[in-house]
Amino acid sequence: MRNGPPSEVLPVLPEPDGFLADKSLELDSSFRELFEFAPVAYHEIDAAGTLRRVNHTECRMLGYTAAEMIGKPVWEFVATDQREQCQQAIRRRVASEELLTAFECDFLRRDGGYLILEIYDSLIHNRSGETTGIRSVMLDVTDRRLAEQLLANEVTERERLTVALRRSKEEAEKANRAKSEFLSRMSHELRTPLNAILGFAQLLEMGVLDRDKRESVAQILKAGQHLLGLINEVLEISRIEAGRLSISPEAVMISSAVQEVVDLLNPIAARRSILVRDEIPRSPRRYVMADQQRLKQVLLNVISNAIKYNCDAGTVAISSEEIDGKRLRLKVRDTGSGLNLDQKDKLFTPFERLGAETTGVEGTGLGLALSKRLIEIMKGSIGVENNPDRGATFWIELPLVQDPVAELQTTLAETSVVAPPTPQQRERIVLYVEDNLSNITLIEHIMVQRPHVKLVAAMQGRLGLDLAREHRPDLILLDLHLPDISGEEVLQGVRQIAEMRNTPVIVISADATRGRIERLLSMGVVDYLSKPLDIKRFLQLLDCTLSEMDNPK
């Protein structure tokens, strides 16, 4: 028996002397119809718990006839594990030892099922006031209780899944931390002995050696450089998988990036008389959203592969086309032997070298796997297809973005942002440490609106520190992702220069994560501007920062 919801104690109704069974009680027809077909189950028991009257509704609920029920103890129709509790409850209620509050009980059906009935009792008394039995009105709450149980189970399961998810997340974070620590340690442990190997080999090479020894030293250096490349690429892929590789996506002029890479690789191509044709149009200038350094890394890998796997006196053609005006596809076409179906399937798999082990072509087998991961992080895609005639074409797709300089000119045409000259203004030096030439060009165009500002640019962090010591700039604009050292290291280096401890620094970065912004602001930067740059806000901040120097409080 279950305790049900609290209920008002029902009134005790008088009953004539004696207690009559259903068949011996004369009922008028209207009362009998109401009794038999009421929407609730109804029965009466005597003081010993024996059924004396039961309506048609209860018989239909349980699957018995009235004749099969009347004369039997009511607990015979109750679930086995609740019969003892039922008997005790009847005894206490007849003895007035228990309040007549509503309760629940499981009743057995004839077909073996059960019903959960919510029961409301009232006592039956004779004319002398003696308790002669109990009348019970019962509601079927089976469906409601099962629904509540299912809901409770669902909530419990959801809570279990939440706990499991939290534990999985904690374990994953713990594993990532352990992986990061392992990578850091491995980087140190592998590079330290390799530094000695390559260092002493180079010293030997510089000495006086006979031909055989010089060839041996050359082999040591060659193997050492190969191993160094392998270590670098393995660690790079591991950083990506561990989520430790951060990128700085910004507008990159594709023609400029390709030209830089081609200039680096032309001497290598010339050794085999391979012609590298840069067919990227210089006008109009097209920009893609990418991390400049990572994009160059991918281009170096793809174009150098096109040279390595080409035939002597072959050709490498680099072209581009727009896809739906939203993406730019860069294509690198070679005149080599092409790829068979098996090689294409394994192309971007780590340590697969496309049969280079039989051709003598050097490589680690990681370059394309790393390139694919880098391009995907930059929301791009990479693939390959065989040419109809000979060779293969690798393609890279990246999102197209607006020309930042053209966007600046539009903004300047729409709004007047030229600051009026003031008598107090003097020439100010602003140092901009940024490795993206397009971004430097953008700031140069902006500074045209401020004739009293002289812009000094540095494309490396260490060069930026050198220029800071030389020019003592009034303001430093700082990117965070630089090719040699990080922007945070540049900031720390500036603060170590005695004369520049209070020089204002404004960070301009494509990394707009809240944690990075809060950390840089806590390090004392004036503000943190995210790319693409809000030109109006930048000019206001520039004017405000420089005017505070002219009019110190």
Indicate which CATH number applies to the domain containing 431.
3.40.50.2300
> What's the rounded Cα separation, in Å, for the pair 322 and 345?
27
Res. 409: pLDDT tops 80: no
- Do 389 and 359 belong together in one domain? yes
Contacts of 133 (CB under 8 A, 6+ apart): 19, 44, 45, 46, 47, 52, 94, 123, 124
Q: Which residue among 241, 262, 289 closes a domain?
A: 241
The H or E element containing residue 257 is helix 254-270
Residue 150 in any domain: the answer is no
Q: Where are the alpha helices (DSSP H) in 18-141?
A: 29-36, 56-62, 66-69, 83-94
My answer on whether 282 and 343 are in the same domain is yes
Same domain for 16 and 126?
A: yes
Task: Please determine, for residue 5, whether its predicted confidence score (pLDDT) is greater than 60.
Answer: no
Mean pLDDT of 494-514: 86
Count of the separate structural domains present in the chain: 4
pLDDT at 59: 92
Work out the average pLDDT over 110-127.
89
Distance CA 341, CA 364 (A): 21
The answer to whether the beta carbons of residues 43 and 53 sit under 8 Å apart is: yes
Residues 264 and 304 in one domain: yes
**What pLDDT score does 240 carry?**
66
Tens of pLDDT, residue by residue over 43-64, are 999 999 999 999 999 999 999 9
* Residue 236 within a domain: yes
DSSP state letter for 49: S
Kindly tell me if the per-residue pLDDT of 3 is higher than 60: no
Asked, as a colleague might, if the bond just before 284 is cis with ω within 30 of 0, I would say yes
Q: Are residues 361 and 475 in the same domain?
A: no
Residue labelled with tokens 């050359």: 218
Q: How far apart are CA 51 and CA 71, in angstroms?
A: 5
Is 385 inside a domain boundary?
Answer: yes
Asked if 294 and 358 sit in the same domain, the reply is: yes
Task: For residue 295, give the CATH number of its domain.
Answer: 3.30.565.10
Amino acid at 485: I
Domain of 187 in residue numbering reads as 167-241
| Residues 235, 271 within the same domain | no
Q: Does residue 505 sit within a domain?
A: yes
The per-residue pLDDT for 156 is: 77
Res. 399: pLDDT tops 80? yes
Q: Phi-psi bin for 496: left (phi > 0), alpha (psi -120 to 50), beta?
A: alpha
The pLDDT of residue 9: 40
Question: What number of other Cβ atoms are within 10 A of residue 365's Cβ?
Answer: 17
For residue 478, give every residue at least 6 positions away whose Cβ sits within 8 Å of its Cβ, in sequence order, or none: 433, 464, 487, 490, 491, 505, 506, 507, 508, 525
Tell whether 470 and 381 lie within a shared domain.
no
- Is 103:59 a contact under the CB 8 Å cutoff? no
pLDDT band at 18 (very low <50, low <70, confident <90, very high): very low
Residues 449 and 461 in one domain: yes
- What percentage of the chain reaches a pLDDT higher than 70? 79
Nearest-angstrom CA–CA distance, 507 and 523: 11
The CA radius of gyration of the chain, in Å to the nearest whole number, is: 43
Q: What is the mean pLDDT of the chain?
A: 80
Residue corresponding to tokens 């209860």:
58
d(CA 118, CA 138): 5
256 assigned to some structural domain: yes
Query: What is the model's pLDDT at position 425?
Result: 61
pLDDT given for residue 531 in this prediction: 77
**Together in a domain, 65 and 122:** yes
Are 407 and 445 a contacting pair, CB within 8 Å? no
What is the mean pLDDT of the segment spanning 267-287? 89
CATH code of the domain covering residue 73: 3.30.450.20
Check residues 188 and 149 and name the one with the higher pLDDT.
149
String of DSSP letters for 346-399: HTTSTT--TTGGGTT----S-HHHHHHHHHHHTT-EEEEEE-SSSSEEEEEEEE
Under 8 Å between Cβ of 132 and 19: yes
My answer on whether 389 and 256 are in the same domain is yes
In this structure, is the dihedral angle defined by the CA atoms of residues 266, 270, 271 and 274, taken in order, positive or negative?
positive
**Position 233 confidence tier, pLDDT thresholds 50, 70, 90:** low
Does the pLDDT value for residue 112 go beyond 70? Answer: yes
Q: Which two tokens stand for residue 398?
A: 């990246």
pLDDT of residue 12: 40
pLDDT higher than threshold 50 for residue 358: no
347 and 395 co-located in one domain: yes
pLDDT for res 8: 40
The DSSP string of 50-77 is BEEEE-HHHHHHHT--HHHHTTSBGGGG
- Which pLDDT score, from 0 to 100, does residue 107 have? 92
pLDDT at residue 22 in the model:
42
Each residue's pLDDT tens digit, 79-101: 888 999 999 999 999 998 888 88
Q: Decide if pLDDT at 230 tops 60.
A: yes
CA–CA distance, 68 with 86 (Å, rounded to integer): 20
Residue 177's CB: how many other CB atoms inside 10 A?
A: 11
Domain boundary among 346, 379, 401: 401
Q: Among the three residues 241, 262, 278, which one is the final residue of a domain in this structure?
A: 241
**Residue range 311-355, pLDDT digits in tens:** 999 999 999 999 888 899 999 999 988 877 766 666 766 555 555
Which one, of 471, 402, 484, lies nearest residue 435 by Cα? Answer: 484
For residue 71, is pLDDT > 90?
Answer: yes
pLDDT level of residue 7 (50, 70, 90 thresholds): very low
pLDDT in tens, 440-477: 888 888 888 888 899 999 989 999 999 999 999 999 99
Q: Does residue 157 sit within a domain?
A: no
pLDDT reading at 39 higher than 80: yes
According to the model, what pLDDT value does residue 37 have?
75
Higher pLDDT, 190 or 252: 252
Going by pLDDT thresholds of 50, 70 and 90, the confidence category of residue 258 is very high
The total of other beta-carbon atoms located within 10 Å of residue 152's CB is 10
Separation in Å, CA 488 to CA 293, 505, 525: 18, 11, 10
Look at residue 552 and give its three-state secondary structure.
coil
Beta partners for residue 103, in sequence order = 3, 119
Query: Does residue 365 have a pLDDT over 80?
Result: no
Over range 410-431, report the average pLDDT: 64
Q: What is the pLDDT of residue 98?
A: 85
pLDDT digits (tens, 9 = 90+) for 422-433: 545 678 999 999
Domain annotation covers residue 229: yes
**Residue 154 within any structural domain of the chain:** no
Question: In this structure, what DSSP letter does residue 451 have?
Answer: T
Neighbours of 494 (CB within 10 A): 21
Q: With a cut of 90, say whether residue 70 has pLDDT above it.
A: yes
Over range 131-151, report the average pLDDT.
87
